[in-house]
Chains A and B, each alone.
Chain A
Amino acid sequence: MRSGSNLEKVLEDGRFAVTAEIGPPRSADPEPIRKHARDMKGSADAFNLTDNQTAIVRLSSIASGVVCLQEGIEPVIQMTCRDRNRIAMQSDVLGASALGIRNVLCISGDHQVFGNQKEAKNVYDVDPVQQLMMFRKMRDEAQVWGGDKLEEAPKLFLGAAANPFADPFEYRVRRLSKKINAGADFVQTQAIYDMDRFERWMAQARELGLHEKAHIIAGVMPLRSHKAAMYMKNKVSGMIVPDAVVDRLRTAADPKAEGVKLCVEQIEHLMSIEGVHGVHIMAVAWEEIVPRIVRDAGLLPRPSVREAIVHPYHS
């Protein structure tokens, strides 16, 4: 075990993993995270805390992760290359590990033009491949970048993001290969609506044996209306939403129920694809729907491979 995290255990046990996303609030109040944690507890193996997603200032991912630990659910903290240089990244990962956080997802981060701090200076001292190299060195060699010794190595289960819907398509899998070689233990993909393209991408990943080198967790995003689908299609960078999906929600008598049904079908499909080791549910601003989706997909109960969580915050 690299980190001993619940997510790592589920995946290493060969169980189909479920992760879900929690968007930290634009607030100093941790209560929304506590509420999501209580609502979703037991329906996923670990929960991603986004890091100032779309470059909008929010409660920090590490602090949100600690709130999750206090609520007895396991966090995956996301860490962008946009906001931290290598000093801050390594320091934060030591801090996160010290606080009991094990899963870290390394990402480049949405450019600041999308958010509410458009005048910011971005950092990009390292990119996500380099971030993974650094964190792996810290964990496996107990050294910071440059070689100085760490008295205690951080315990980390390292994640990378992959987007099968970005271009150039024929390079996307090789880019993922770079991330896995750099240290990614697990991979979470962009939300999938175009199954054909995802299947072609997975086939390429299997050809390179990537599905055996890292755990690929496929992303889904339930949609509550055709408007949400249109928004994803037109406004969110790096997404492909086929017209059939938009039409299905538009013509549905009960769009929300249809959205759930669609998402469950997607999960069932993804489970049948060789090399997909889990599903990541991003119910943005619709977190409360996650337990139902997981249940309808037949993924309950979640395996209890983890000993009772013991950490300083558990009340």
Chain B
Amino acid sequence: MIIAEQKGIEELIGILEGHKDILVVGCRSCVAICLAGGEKEVGVLSEALRLHSDMRSKGWNISEVTLERACEKEWAYELDQLVEGKDCVISLACGVGAQVIQELFPDVRVVPGLNTSNMGAPEEQGVYNEKCGGCGDCVLHLTGGICPIARCAKSLLNGPCGGSQEGKCEIDPEVPCAWDQIYHSLEKLGRLELMDVPIPPKDWGPSRSGGPRKMVRSEAILTDEQNRMKGGKR
């Protein structure tokens, strides 16, 4: 899932300068799970903004809504009526959702209410760890199911650097060394010999380095006929 956290209220208030009719939009997917942009957070932020508006006579009209999944046009279109007459949307969806909303409603300014951070997983309630760097060419089968790209501070591919001590990464005694974890995972799997296999320089072409990525699954693309059958929804 996508891990994100809310921007500070001060920063958000600065961004809203000059706006009046504001719609706060959340998302029930990833950002709800990481407690950044679900229905509850939308309510709390909206209330805080109303309070600020009253105290500082900003005259803001704040309304709120939470989408099922902001990154899918089908769901994001539900804003169709709600953005009517608004001059700003605060997106509490991730950076993806924010862009989808802006694309669908090009006349309203969409501002980010979240800082979108990474692809990760909840460790426990309130704790989220980055897991995948989206490199486009997965090597988890070689690394005991632990990602060296996202989990190693240097994205090393051939074992731990000289800063790995007692299972910790050199950058911070709180951060586990990914390569120490990989070693012990491979040990448990009985595949330690993989630690000796040299991995040549990686092709970063399928990663962000190759430019923005577009994936086309031709068999899934609907024909005109199918689109017509599907009806109204765009």
Interface residue? B102 (CB, 8 A) = no
Instruction: Judge whether B163 and A111 touch: CB under 8 Å.
Output: yes
CB neighbours of A284 from chain B (8 A): none
Contact A166/B171 with A127-B156, A134-B201 known, Cβ cut-off 8 Å: no
Closest to B149 in A: A124
0/1 string, A208-239, CB within 8 A of B gives 1: 00000000000000000000000000000110
- Among A125, A171, A182, A238, chain B packs the most CB atoms within 10 A around the CB of A171
Closest beta carbon of chain A to B193's beta carbon, Å: 10
Tell me the residues in window 158-172 of chain A with beta carbons closer than 8 Å to chain B beta carbons: 161-163, 165-168, 171
0/1 string, A165-195, CB within 8 A of B gives 1: 1111001001101100110000000100000
Contact A108/B157 with A171-B195, A177-B196, A238-B165 known, Cβ cut-off 8 Å: no
Instruction: Judge whether B158 and A129 touch: CB under 8 Å.
Output: yes
Interface residue? A81 (CB, 8 A) = yes
0/1 string, B195-206, CB within 8 A of A gives 1: 110111110100
CB neighbours of A124 from chain B (8 A): 154-156
Instruction: Judge whether B158 and A127 touch: CB under 8 Å.
Output: yes
Contact A190/B162 with A111-B170, A174-B195, A178-B196 known, Cβ cut-off 8 Å: yes
Count of residues in B whose CB is under 8 Å from the partner chain: 30
0/1 string, A62-98, CB within 8 A of B gives 1: 0000000000000000000110001000000000000
Closest beta carbon of chain A to B99's beta carbon, Å: 22
Instruction: Judge whether B171 and A113 touch: CB under 8 Å.
Output: yes
Number of A-B contacts (CB under 8 A): 98
Tell me the residues in window 156-214 of chain B with beta carbons closer than 8 Å to chain A beta carbons: 156-167, 170-172, 177, 180, 183-184, 195-196, 198-202, 204
0/1 string, A114-155, CB within 8 A of B gives 1: 100000001011111110011000000000010000000000
Instruction: Judge whether B164 and A238 touch: CB under 8 Å.
Output: yes
Instruction: Judge whether B196 and A130 touch: CB under 8 Å.
Output: no
Interface residue? A110 (CB, 8 A) = yes
Contact A171/B154 with A111-B171, A125-B201 known, Cβ cut-off 8 Å: no
Contact A110/B163 with A125-B204, A167-B180, A171-B195 known, Cβ cut-off 8 Å: yes
Closest beta carbon of chain B to A117's beta carbon, Å: 14
Listed by A's residue number, 6 A-B pairs whose Cβ atoms lie within 8 Å are A113-B172, A114-B170, A124-B156, A161-B162, A168-B164, A168-B183
Interface residue? B15 (CB, 8 A) = no
Complex-state Cα separation, A160 to B105, whole angstroms: 55
0/1 string, B21-35, CB within 8 A of A gives 1: 000000000000000
Closest to A176 in B: B159
Tell me the residues in window 106-156 of chain B with beta carbons closer than 8 Å to chain A beta carbons: 153-156
Instruction: Judge whether A108 and B156 touch: CB under 8 Å.
Output: yes
Closest beta carbon of chain A to B154's beta carbon, Å: 5
Complex-state Cα separation, A175 to B196, whole angstroms: 7
The SS class assigned to the B binding surface is: loop
Instruction: Judge whether A166 and B160 touch: CB under 8 Å.
Output: yes
Instruction: Judge whether A167 and B201 touch: CB under 8 Å.
Output: no
Tell me the residues in window 6-35 of chain A with beta carbons closer than 8 Å to chain B beta carbons: none
Closest to A145 in B: B201
CB neighbours of A109 from chain B (8 A): 154
CB neighbours of B167 from chain A (8 A): 167
Instruction: Judge whether A175 and B163 touch: CB under 8 Å.
Output: no
0/1 string, A276-289, CB within 8 A of B gives 1: 00000000000000
CB neighbours of B202 from chain A (8 A): 126, 130
0/1 string, B51-86, CB within 8 A of A gives 1: 000000000000000000000000000000000000
Instruction: Judge whether B200 and A122 touch: CB under 8 Å.
Output: no
Instruction: Judge whether B163 and A133 touch: CB under 8 Å.
Output: no
Instruction: Judge whether A238 and B170 touch: CB under 8 Å.
Output: yes
Instruction: Judge whether B198 and A182 touch: CB under 8 Å.
Output: yes
Closest beta carbon of chain B to A57's beta carbon, Å: 19
Complex-state Cα separation, A110 to B164, whole angstroms: 11
CB neighbours of A167 from chain B (8 A): 160, 164-167, 177, 180
Closest beta carbon of chain B to A36's beta carbon, Å: 25
Add 6 more A-B contacts to A127-B157, A171-B160 (CB < 8 A).
A111-B170, A124-B155, A126-B202, A162-B162, A165-B165, A174-B195
Instruction: Judge whether B201 and A86 touch: CB under 8 Å.
Output: yes
Complex-state Cα separation, A26 to B126, whole angstroms: 43
CB neighbours of A130 from chain B (8 A): 157-158, 199-202
- Among A134, A167, A238, chain B packs the most CB atoms within 10 A around the CB of A167
CB neighbours of A238 from chain B (8 A): 162-165, 170
CB neighbours of A166 from chain B (8 A): 160-165
Complex-state Cα separation, A73 to B139, whole angstroms: 44
**A178: contacting residue among B155, B170, B198, CB under 8 A:** B198
Closest beta carbon of chain B to A136's beta carbon, Å: 12
0/1 string, B78-101, CB within 8 A of A gives 1: 000000000000000000000000
CB neighbours of B165 from chain A (8 A): 165-167, 237-238
Closest to B152 in A: A124
Complex-state Cα separation, A82 to B159, whole angstroms: 16
Closest beta carbon of chain A to B44's beta carbon, Å: 31
